[in-house]
Amino acid sequence: MNAPIINTSAIRPVPAEPRHDWTLEEVEALFEVPFTDLVFRAAVVHRRWFDPCELQLSQLLSVKTGGCPENCGYCSQSQHFKTATKASKLMEAEAVISAAAQAKAAGAQRFCMGAAWRDVKDRDLPKVAAMISGVKALGLETCATLGMLTPDQAKALKAAGLDFYNHNLDTGPDYYDQVVTTRTYQDRLDTLKAVRDAGMSTCCGGIVGMGETRRDRAGLLHQLATLPSHPESLPINDLMPIPGTPLGGSQPVDGLEFVRMIAVARLVCPKSMVRIAAGREHMSQELQAMCFLAGANSIFVGARLLTTDNPGRNADEALLANLKMRPMAMTQVS
């Protein structure tokens, strides 16, 4: 059977420095590059900026679970859906700091705190700030995902010692209203601007496997690649379908398509820490190895990711040992 003729004329040579003028057509064309060529290109770019044998290990803790007023179709924490997730109150700072210390002892270099809120309430800021400063004092890189922020709230989190703020775009702008309607795409972009303006680094990515098309995936990466500054951290989630949510019956994305997503993310955001986030629980070692080859250089460790399963410590130690990879050296973000 003859292979389809692919128009890759829109693709410019990979530049020495990151670009912010990608067109959607260029990003779409990258997805059409023959698989082995695409992975090779991404691997070359990866090696330009990172040690390909190192992985950053990040751990995520749900510091306030459930009861969220948003209707994100993938999320078990939404109060709109009937799921097995039970709502809980915001954890005490001491318990969060203790969990972070255990994560560091287990090898994590980065600790992320997630709360199921639509937006941060000023009354909760002091307790959240205490968590952040306590985790920062352990020598860990700090990250939080708490919903939408005002500029003043972003400045307060920065003052508490927060290095990164996670606020995902989820998908491309054309598919977004098929996933969530209680928050606009512009709302998300506004929060990212507040984070950048406060001097924090951004952690921003999305999810594949929600019924979106390849163009929608390209649309997400195009949005990220044309931000005023690329996300310093770029998580790619492979949907973990949750019973009771609108996307609970979604069909999984093919493994090679997931690798393509990683590779294109690496090409258009070459200096970002590209993280395999949710979904590793159902990925083979071989699939994860292909993702690392294609430019992923960070994973979440620990047995839970907010409310979904994640490979445990023993599985991840075996993965790194089999691939002869090593944890990334600890760094502190100023």
For the segment 121-179, what is each residue's pLDDT rounded down to a tens digit? 999 999 999 999 999 999 999 999 999 999 999 999 999 999 999 999 999 999 999 99
Q: How many CB atoms lie within 10 A of CB 185?
A: 17
Q: Which residue is catalytic, options 110, 183, 203, 204?
A: 203
Q: Which of 184, 69, 186, 162 is nearest to 116 (CA)?
A: 69
Domain residue spans of the chain? 37-320
Q: Which residue is catalytic, options 110, 143, 188, 280?
A: 143
Q: pLDDT at position 53, please?
A: 95
Q: pLDDT at position 305, please?
A: 54
- Any catalytic annotation for residue 72? yes
- Any catalytic annotation for residue 215? no
Q: Which of 109, 127, 130 is nearest to 117 (CA)?
A: 127
- Any catalytic annotation for residue 75? yes
Q: Which residue is catalytic, options 41, 110, 112, 188?
A: 112
Tally DSSP H helices, then E strands, for the chain.
10, 12
Q: In angstroms, how far is the first alpha carbon of the chain from the final one?
A: 55
Q: How confident is the model at residue 87 (pLDDT cuts 50, 70, 90)?
A: confident
Helices 24-31 and 255-268, axial angle in degrees (round to 10) = 140
Q: How far apart are CA 329 and CA 331, in angstroms?
A: 6
- DSSP 8-state code for residue 235: E
Q: Which of 217, 222, 227, 233 is nearest to 272 (CA)?
A: 233
* Residues with Cβ within 8 Å of residue 269, at least 6 apart in sequence: 18, 221, 224, 225, 230, 231, 234
Half-sphere exposure of 302 (CA within 13 A, CB side): 26
Q: How confident is the model at residue 304 (pLDDT cuts 50, 70, 90)?
A: low
* pLDDT reading at 104 higher than 50: yes
Give the 3-state secondary structure of residue 202: strand
Q: How confident is the model at residue 311 (pLDDT cuts 50, 70, 90)?
A: low
- Any catalytic annotation for residue 291? no
- Any catalytic annotation for residue 53? no
What is the average per-residue pLDDT within 27-55? 96
- Any catalytic annotation for residue 204? no
Q: Which residue is catalytic, options 41, 75, 188, 291?
A: 75
37-320: in CATH 1.10.630.10: no
Q: Which residue is catalytic, options 41, 68, 217, 291?
A: 68
- Any catalytic annotation for residue 68? yes
Q: How confident is the model at residue 15 (pLDDT cuts 50, 70, 90)?
A: low
Q: Which residue is catalytic, options 183, 260, 266, 275?
A: 275
Q: Which residue is catalytic, options 72, 204, 269, 291?
A: 72
Question: What is the overall mean pLDDT for the chain?
Answer: 90
* pLDDT reading at 306 higher than 60: no
8 Å CB contact between 122 and 153: yes
* pLDDT reading at 13 higher than 80: no
